[in-house]
Amino acid sequence: MTTEAATIGLTHGGSEDTGLGHRGPESKSIVVPYGFWLFVLSDMVLFSALFASYATLVHATDGGPTTNQLFDRNLVAVETIALLVSSFVCGLAMITAKRANMMWTQAWLLLTGLLGAVFLFIELYEFTKMVAEGAGPQRSAFLSAFFTLVGCHGAHVTAGLLWLGTMMAQIWAKGFQQHIIRRLLCFSIFWHALDIIWVAIFTIVYLIGTLP
Amino acid sequence: MTENEDDLIDVAPGSPHNNIVSESVAYVIGLGLALGLTAVSFWVASTSSLWGPGVATGLVVLAIAQMGVHLVFFLHMTSGPDNTNNILALAFGVLIVFLVMVGTIWIMAHMNANMSVSPELMNLQMQH
């Protein structure tokens, strides 16, 4: 087997691992998060298109309200901290889940969800306030791009909260089985990725948008 | 106890730990760095003591740094063998994101600059 492999090339000095898959497929604990990671990266490519259209249209206000008039930095700071701590607590939930600690896992996941809900609540408050002021998505190209970009992130957070609730129920009902842990791992990747996208949003949309 | 201390010292920040303390410490370090970078971002955006035209660039750099912190400490991107594929996929993702964003902004800014019509010319066209 080794000699056969050694004739194929790309071998590493007699190592059995040729990098050509001779050892068979990786374990599910590697392959499943990898596949989900590919999905998350494609999601980031989707967001990059929304960021690009936002950056192109940010000055196309059609005489309507501009970024400086609309955005409130204090509100964004609270949103940012809520989502960041939520991401951190999700990591703590993964640590306790690996040790099959039901009480702490459920507690951390609940806190993750509550902080995510705080984020979502503030975002919805901001959106309804803007729409009430006549700065809805149909006002200008800038606002259409804004609501598409930030709303798409908010929709992801909403989906994440539904997934989180499902995972809490599954852990409760089925216990810490291998496939449940893998699903939870995928959820944590999703949740951390949403925080990464939010870093780009609060920098590009809110901070750079409200520079004097 | 010495084994635990070794874990704390020897293991890369994002790589899998076997020790609940060092695992939690990695997340706490990540949270601390992310909170610090966020605070610096908000400070940079509000202060007037920095050179104005450079602030936006600085904010983008801070954001990229914070994304790196999230990738290493929360998403456990490492240089370990199990992570090679994840890193390669990430590199490809970054390439596409870079092409889409920089390409769009670059092209659209140039089109905007070149398509602008002076008021006199606009007036001439209106009269036809």
Could you give the percent of chain B with pLDDT greater than 70? Answer: 77
Please state, in angstroms and rounded to a whole number, the distance separating the CA atoms of residues A28 and A187: 16
Q: Looking at the partner chain, which of A37, A91, A99 has a beta carbon nearest the beta carbon of B86?
A: A37
Name the residue in chain B with its Cα closest to that of A199. Answer: B63
pLDDT category of residue A10 using cuts at 50, 70 and 90: very low
Answer whether residue A2 is part of any domain.
no
Answer whether residue A113 is part of any domain.
yes
Distance from CA of B86 to the nearest CA of A (A): 6
pLDDT, tens digit (0-9, with 9 covering 90-100), for B78-99: 877 778 889 999 999 999 999 9
Q: Is the pLDDT of residue A57 over 70?
A: yes
Answer whether residue A7 is part of any domain.
no
CB contact under 8 A, B59 and A203: yes
Answer whether residue A5 is part of any domain.
no
The domain ranges of chain B are 1-78, 81-128
Q: Looking at the partner chain, which of B41, B96, B103 has a beta carbon nearest the beta carbon of A207?
A: B41
pLDDT: which is higher, A124 or B51: A124
Q: Looking at the partner chain, which of A52, A73, A211 has a beta carbon nearest the beta carbon of B56?
A: A211
Average pLDDT in chain A: 89
| Mutation choice for A interface testing from B37, B71, B100, B108 by most A CBs within 10 A | B100
Query: Number of structural domains, chain A?
Result: 1
What single-letter DSSP state applies at residue B81? G
Range(s) of the domain holding residue A108: 28-210
Q: DSSP letter string over A44-77?
A: HHHHHHHHHHHHHHTT--TTS--HHHH--HHHHH
Specify the residue for token string 């409760």: A172
Helix-helix angle B55-69:A178-201, to 10 degrees: 170
Q: Which of A21-25, A43-47, A183-187, A198-202 has the lowest mean pLDDT?
A: A21-25
Answer whether residue A62 is part of any domain.
yes
pLDDT category of residue B8 using cuts at 50, 70 and 90: very low
Stretch A172-178: mean pLDDT: 93
Q: Looking at the partner chain, which of A92, A99, A208 has a beta carbon nearest the beta carbon of B56?
A: A208
**DSSP-based three-state secondary structure for A175:** coil
CB contact under 8 A, B63 and A95: no
Please state, in angstroms and rounded to a whole number, the distance separating the CA atoms of residues A102 and A177: 12
Name the residue in chain B with its Cα closest to that of A54. Answer: B105
CB contact under 8 A, B82 and A30: yes
Answer whether residue A138 is part of any domain.
yes
pLDDT, tens digit (0-9, with 9 covering 90-100), for A176-195: 999 999 999 999 999 999 99
Please state, in angstroms and rounded to a whole number, the distance separating the CA atoms of residues B9 and B30: 16
Average pLDDT in chain B: 82
| Single pTM value for the model | 0.85
Chain A residues interacting with chain B (CB cutoff of 8 angstroms)? 30, 33-34, 37-38, 41-42, 44-45, 48-49, 51-53, 55-56, 73, 77, 80-81, 84-85, 87-88, 91-92, 95, 99, 189, 192-193, 195-196, 199-200, 202-204, 207-208, 210-212
pLDDT: which is higher, A10 or A194: A194
Q: Looking at the partner chain, which of A37, A84, A202 has a beta carbon nearest the beta carbon of B89?
A: A37
Nearest CA to B17 among B91, B98, B71, B80? B80
pLDDT, tens digit (0-9, with 9 covering 90-100), for A87-106: 999 999 999 998 999 999 99
Please state, in angstroms and rounded to a whole number, the distance separating the CA atoms of residues B40 and B27: 20
Name the residue in chain B with its Cα closest to that of A48. Answer: B97
CB-count exposure of residue B28 (10 Å: 0-12, 13-18, 19+): middle
CATH number of the domain that residue A58 is part of: 1.20.120.80
Q: What is the reported pLDDT for A20?
A: 67
Q: Are A209 and A67 in contact (CB under 8 A)?
A: yes
CB contact under 8 A, B101 and A48: yes
